[in-house]
Amino acid sequence: MNQSIMKLDEVQKKISEGRSLLLAGDESVLMQLPQGNWVGGTIPYFITKEHGGLSSRELIFVTDITDFTESISIAQYNKDTLAKVYEDGPRQGFSFILIPAASETHLSFAVNAPNYKSFGMSPLIGWIAGVHLQDLGTKIPKVFNGSTGNMFEDGAIVLRAELKPGKLAEIGILNLFEQGDGDILTFSSDGFSARNVMVNGAPQNFAAYLQAHKLDTRLPIVANYYGALVNISFQGVDEQDKVVRFYAPVFSGIRYKHAKPIADYVAAFDAQVQKQIGSDTDNVVFSCNCILNYLFSNLENKKTGSFVGPVTFGEIAYQLLNQTIVYLEIKDI
């Protein structure tokens, strides 16, 4: 099994064996790992096969990619050099990216990734590192380059994996949210916050609009980006300054609608998996879910089948996403 939750000594043993690993865990345990063929990001929330949703500061979630990769290389980027991430992608494989939440690189990637040269031409998947929710404001998310032992609060760590002959990487997105039947919302500029919004073409203060219509901000606003539904999650509403803040940027000229509510997350998830993949999920070798899904849908102790992995502060499938599950499949060709 290439995905599992492990104790520190078990992970140390895997690293010493030369395995190629994608790791997620609390900073306190990731700091105790030896150098080796691994990258990691801080988060203490996971979906596991055995226990379902789980929070732990002692355990590490391990995705072992050794058996289907020919070689790996690990690179570090900053907010300026990250624009080359698609050009630098492997010939026949995928890139796995980790970025600390709220860092300059995170904010820059969120806004600019769709404009990077060769965007989407090479599979890119990953997630945004976070912290325990009790540590918000006191601890800073971090990413690790296992090959050097270095830890970073800003920048991006990218593991580039060349696959073995006859293998193909495909990235998928499971988005349970759909556009509701409400107003069409558009914004005049790109960004992580908005004071004003156009509601069916008429300008309004967005915070006042949310309050007047009693919209549930646990549900995202959803846009159709050229055939793909993309969520923008609410971070908070500043009632005093009348500003609405988001976990991912809104883009000008895109039409958003408030999402339909989901009555039963696990049932909706199972239905979406059946629709999108079917019953054969053996090719899924990595996935991650969003911390907002974990919280708002009460996923602690709940299981999501083959879709196990870290619960993150943002998902990356070519670009930054919110309130989705992203996954990597390795198929035979």
pLDDT tens-digit series, residues 177-235: 999 999 999 999 999 999 999 999 999 999 999 999 999 999 999 998 878 899 999 99
Q: What is the mean predicted confidence (pLDDT) over 298-309?
A: 92
Does residue 279 register a pLDDT over 80? no
Residues near 131 by Cβ (< 8 Å), separated by ≥ 6? 27, 42, 43, 44, 101, 139, 140, 141
- Coil vs helix vs strand at 57: coil
Residue 306's pLDDT band (boundaries 50, 70, 90)? confident
Helix (H) or strand (E) holding 13: helix 8-16
Nearest residue to 181 (alpha-carbon basis) of 257, 254, 233: 257
Are residues 232 and 256 in contact, defined by beta-carbon separation less than 8 angstroms? yes
pLDDT of residue 1: 63
CA distance 5 to 47: 9
Are residues 230 and 315 in contact, defined by beta-carbon separation less than 8 angstroms? no
pTM: 0.95
Q: What is the mean predicted confidence (pLDDT) over 20-48?
A: 98
**Residue 297 dihedral angles phi and psi, to the nearest 5°:** -105, 10
CA distance 160 to 123: 10
Who wins on pLDDT, 271 or 202?
202
CA distance 109 to 296: 26
User: What is the residue-averaged pLDDT of the chain?
Assistant: 95
Does residue 8 register a pLDDT over 80? yes
Q: What is the mean predicted confidence (pLDDT) over 58-87?
A: 98
Helix (H) or strand (E) holding 332: strand 325-332
Does residue 65 register a pLDDT over 90? yes
Q: What is the mean predicted confidence (pLDDT) over 94-107?
A: 97
Helix (H) or strand (E) holding 28: helix 27-30
Does residue 110 register a pLDDT over 70? yes
CA distance 124 to 273: 21
Neighbours of 15 (CB within 10 A): 19
